[in-house]
């Protein structure tokens, strides 16, 4: 479970990616703290932004965004899906999701809360990827020069795929233990994204590392 967010509280969930999600899905519960039949009430918002680093501008572009507002109490988990429409053909490098609850023009009501669970994104291939990482894989050194080590890999990990920011696969590593490493001497300086997979259709973890020469 990702957690519960109280009135006037924001929380940010983000992870590196190397493909173009077409939709974000998940489940939520929402408790409206406003009194019954009140003319004013609290709202919750789920906001999604895909970003891509633009080196010439030294800033991030945002090729796609989507959002949903919630005001009606839902005591049972309710599914939501946000479809993403892109303005260009770029492949984002980061997915960020903002959750917020709070008032509009009033002071807010005690008891308003939003609970989020089971977030995932879907690609054009129809594969679903978890957004909240259940594991903490360590990469070092970061930035790297000749090699990167991966530590504390999930026991069910089978291989690692490394891609550059264009989405091109530059390395594939078969995993034989919870600590593995790859050579990077032939790779150029810059940011790289990696995915730890149990199978071709099951992503366990995503992360990123830098190479600096």
> What's the pLDDT tens digit per position in 143-189?
999 999 998 888 888 999 998 888 789 999 999 888 899 999 999 99
Residues making up the chain, counted from first to last: 213
* Residue 151 structure tokens: 């530590």
Segments of the chain assigned to CATH 2.60.120.890: 3-130
Upper half-sphere CA count for residue 28 (Cβ side, 13 Å) = 23
Task: Read off the pLDDT of each residue in 86-105 and give the average, rounded to a whole number.
Answer: 79
Task: Read off the pLDDT of each residue in 61-65 and give the average, rounded to a whole number.
Answer: 89
In this model, does residue 121 exceed pLDDT 70?
Answer: yes
In this model, does residue 108 exceed pLDDT 60?
Answer: yes
- In this structure, which CATH number among 3.40.50.620, 3.90.180.10, 2.30.29.30, 2.60.120.890 belongs to the domain 3-130? 2.60.120.890
Please give the span between the terminal C-alpha atoms of the chain, in angstroms, as a whole number. Answer: 40
- Topology, domain 138-211: Immunoglobulin-like (2.60.40)
pTM of the model: 0.59
Output the CA–CA distances (angstroms, integers) from residue 161 to 103, 185, 189, 200, 213, in the order listed. Answer: 44, 17, 18, 10, 22
The predicted structure's pLDDT at residue 83:
96
Please compute Rg for the chain using Cα positions.
20
Beta bridge partners, 194, equal 162, 207
* Residue 3 structure tokens: 């957690």
What span, in angstroms and rounded, lies between the C-alpha atoms of 161 and 145? 18
> Could you tell me which of 121, 74, 100, 137 has the C-alpha nearest to residue 8?
100
% of the chain at pLDDT higher than 70: 86
What span, in angstroms and rounded, lies between the C-alpha atoms of 192 and 211? 8
In this model, does residue 12 exceed pLDDT 50?
Answer: no
In this model, does residue 14 exceed pLDDT 80?
Answer: no
pLDDT bucket at 109, cuts 50 / 70 / 90:
confident
- Residue located via tokens 């929380």: 11
DSSP strand E in 84-175: where? 94-102, 113-122, 128-130, 138-140, 147-151, 159-163, 169-174
The answer to whether 104 touches 9, Cβ cutoff 8 Å, is no
Segments of the chain assigned to CATH 2.60.40.1930: 138-211
In this model, does residue 3 exceed pLDDT 80?
Answer: no
Task: Read off the pLDDT of each residue in 11-40 and give the average, rounded to a whole number.
Answer: 82
% of the chain at pLDDT higher than 90: 24
In this model, does residue 66 exceed pLDDT 90?
Answer: yes
pLDDT bucket at 90, cuts 50 / 70 / 90:
confident
């Amino acid at each position: 479970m990702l957690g519960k967010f109280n009135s006037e509280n924001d929380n940010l969930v983000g992870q590196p990616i190397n493909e173009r999600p077409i939709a974000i899905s998940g489940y939520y519960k929402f408790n409206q703290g406003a009194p019954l039949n009140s003319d004013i009430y609290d709202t919750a918002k789920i906001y999604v932004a895909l970003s891509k680093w633009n080196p010439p501008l030294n800033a991030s572009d945002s090729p796609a965004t989507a959002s949903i507002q919630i005001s009606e109490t839902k005591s049972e988990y309710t599914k939501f899906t946000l479809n993403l429409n892109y303005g260009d053909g770029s492949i984002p490098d980061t997915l960020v999701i903002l959750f917020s609850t709070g008032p509009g023009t009033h002071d807010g009501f005690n008891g308003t809360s939003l609970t989020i669970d089971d977030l995932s994104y879907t690609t054009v291939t129809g594969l679903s990827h978890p957004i909240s990482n259940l594991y903490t894989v360590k990469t070092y050194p970061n930035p790297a020069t000749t090699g990167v080590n991966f530590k504390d890999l999930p026991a069910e990990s089978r291989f690692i795929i490394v891609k550059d920011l264009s989405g091109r696969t530059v390395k594939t590593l078969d995993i034989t233990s919870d600590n593995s490493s790859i050579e990077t001497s032939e790779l150029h300086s810059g940011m790289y994204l990696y995915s730890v997979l149990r199978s071709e259709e099951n992503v366990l973890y995503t992360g990123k590392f830098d190479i600096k020469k």
